[in-house]
Structure 1
């Protein structure tokens, strides 16, 4: 309900734009319902509302207002992918490749299939679509491609990568909105939402908005302590485990 009220307020604000304003001045106006997601101990996932408007001349038809693509990228990380081979009847790790620059989260939404919006060259240059992501590795592209596909497949299964084409909806001729879901296992860090406006296959305008996902409450305190003092955190974890074991044995000990 809060997101819906915010969206209505923005629609009213955008509708007050001067009708004689030049289309080239502000071709794309966008925003997010919230730029901060707090992850607590009972966090089960959430969704954000992304919305905006495309500015055009009054004499243009709906089909000429263009198409919108929105991409949300999470912080980059290192990922090691291992391939198991059967040796003497036993499955062992045979080959491993380390990738860097892997988005921990990636979601894309668009007004229609992206292949129908612009050319493959533009999509590859902007890295729009999970299959068009390129990760850095020390191996040749041909050899690392199956491993990269394994990363995309695994993250898709974990709901960290998603491709929701045709999921941006226009309200009238210029206003658009969509929702992007963030699962309970979403990594914390700094995110960015990228908005692209295309007309006739050409990129007309692009905007970015920051998004932050942070732990809060007790979970945040423990996370910061583990990151700042890993040795002390390890010792504390061992002591807590020993105390829990002793307490359990004392409670259930037979007299």
Structure 2
């Protein structure tokens, strides 16, 4: 596995380069499109659906950016190293890492399937560590790392125990990483969406449940992937660089 440092200074004559895991659908895909529209070259990391990943690449190109799709299991350190290698070989380096890949299972703690718990934690905890490890080694000066948590860490709804446990781990690890990168000029933050209209969120919910969750926010609607992508784009941009070591609860005011 590569252990190269990331010390080169950004220049004004090249685009910033972003690696986005989970970039083929949902919030990750919206983030790919937003960063491409902002002028980034984007590596779209995906787990298995190449057709969706290539569609995300096409959208990024249509938005005015450059993009490639690279398959990688985020919990596999060799595949993730290859993902970052692709960013360096295709576009010359890495400035921004957005780790949007994730898994969710809902069950009471008393009834949770421990096999599913292990799978959940492999993606959400180990996967975040593996991606963060490569990001810490490779992101260039002036860059940004964004991980994903959930506003459920504070809301603590029943049946979300396994998911919350995994995302609380992400929050803690991300805050430590922000401090470990002292002197590198890289900001590190977590975005914690509230109820957001993605396939993963909507799966298994009836309309009454969706309407009830939408009404929780003072803004009285579900978030959209574009809402969350906008928050990510700010944190990744020079304008958001002073925000560091924070959990940004992008949830329309749900508390």
Higher RCO, 1 or 2 (CA under 8 Å, sep at least 6)? 1
Q: Which protein shows a greater Rg?
A: 1
Structure with more strand by fraction: 1
Structure with more helix by fraction: 2
